[in-house]
């Protein structure tokens, strides 16, 4: 059964994923991670979707991982069922075929900031705070806080958040490149929707390929990007059609090198 704490809605070419657990500041547990994974399936298989928005319900974007959800786990469970699985889910969000826009309506801390970092564009309301406080609990960021965030935003700003426990305002985060736009309180989702409509008006195939190319240039999942681009290109060739026809007809293919 779908977890109601992860809501997925569709409107035209725009999909919206809402983390809806406001009484816990949208902290994530294992069932919510599984439903985020299912949300990725829904977006990937819906050909009408050209752009997606990720946001939170209530006053927070996400406080990250729910401490009560992992505190009683054995080290093996924590490393595999929690960290490794969560890492895979966030990687799926980061590598969606469509651009993902994070509408930060409230604080994004720890895993919440790692969740926001999976998006291609981040729009933050002016009152929010962003940080990676994990070392204050005696742990380290586990959902790519020391990996994707370093690649996307630079090592020094991540050092300040992880080693020094610094927490930044939206304006500070904008100056560091952690967020792309700052909106007034209550306006993050509307601003994200306007930006999503802007993206949706552009060529969807070009946007998808450009996202892969940018990820490759930034050393993010190069193997997937190269194979996806290569497969898309080859899938359009006359040689592939000939190969499939020859297989079905049980004959040798006659390739002509035609694109």
- Residues involved in catalysis: 114, 134
Longest dimension (CA), the chain: 67
The residues pairing with 9 across neighbouring beta strands, listed in sequence order, are 16
Q: What angle do CA 195, 92, 72 make, to 5 degrees?
A: 115
Contacts for 229 with CB less than 8 Å, ≥ 6 apart: 209, 212, 213, 216
Name the DSSP letter for residue 80: I
The neighbour count for residue 232, using CB atoms within 10 Å, is 13
Report CA-CA distances (Å) from 205 to 145, 165, 215, 228, 239.
30, 41, 16, 13, 21
The neighbour count for residue 1, using CB atoms within 10 Å, is 5
Determine how β-strand 121-125 pairs with β-strand 181-183: parallel
Phi, psi of 228 (to 5 degrees): -65, -45
- Give the dihedral of Cα atoms 171, 173, 179, 181; nearest 10 deg: 10
Name the DSSP letter for residue 28: B
Determine how β-strand 121-125 pairs with β-strand 100-104: parallel
Query: Which residue in the block uniquely carries the two structure tokens 């985060």?
Result: 173
């Amino acid at each position: 059964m779908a977890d109601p704490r992860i809501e997925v809605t569709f409107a035209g070419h725009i999909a919206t994923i809402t983390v809806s657990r406001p009484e816990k500041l949208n902290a994530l547990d294992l069932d919510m991670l599984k439903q985020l994974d299912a949300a990725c399936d829904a977006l990937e298989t819906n050909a009408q979707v050209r752009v997606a928005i990720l946001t939170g319900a209530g006053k927070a974007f996400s406080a990250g991982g729910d401490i009560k959800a992992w505190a009683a786990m054995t080290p093996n469970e924590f490393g595999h069922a929690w960290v490794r699985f969560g890492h895979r889910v966030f990687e799926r969000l980061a590598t969606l075929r469509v651009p993902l826009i994070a509408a930060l309506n409230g604080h994004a801390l720890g895993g919440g900031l790692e969740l926001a970092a999976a998006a291609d564009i981040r729009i933050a309301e002016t009152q929010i705070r962003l940080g990676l406080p994990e070392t204050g609990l005696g742990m380290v960021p586990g959902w790519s806080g020391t990996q994707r965030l370093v690649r996307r935003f630079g090592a020094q700003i991540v050092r300040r958040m992880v080693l020094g426990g610094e927490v930044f305002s939206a304006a500070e985060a904008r100056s560091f490149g952690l967020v792309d736009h700052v909106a007034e309180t209550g306006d993050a989702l509307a601003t994200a929707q306007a930006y999503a409509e802007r993206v949706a008006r552009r060529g969807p195939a070009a946007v998808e390929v450009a996202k892969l190319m940018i990820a490759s240039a930034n050393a993010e999942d190069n193997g997937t990007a190269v194979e996806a681009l290569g497969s898309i290109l080859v899938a359009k060739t006359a040689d592939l059609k000939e190969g499939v026809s020859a297989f079905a007809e049980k004959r040798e293919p006659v390739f002509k090198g035609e694109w």
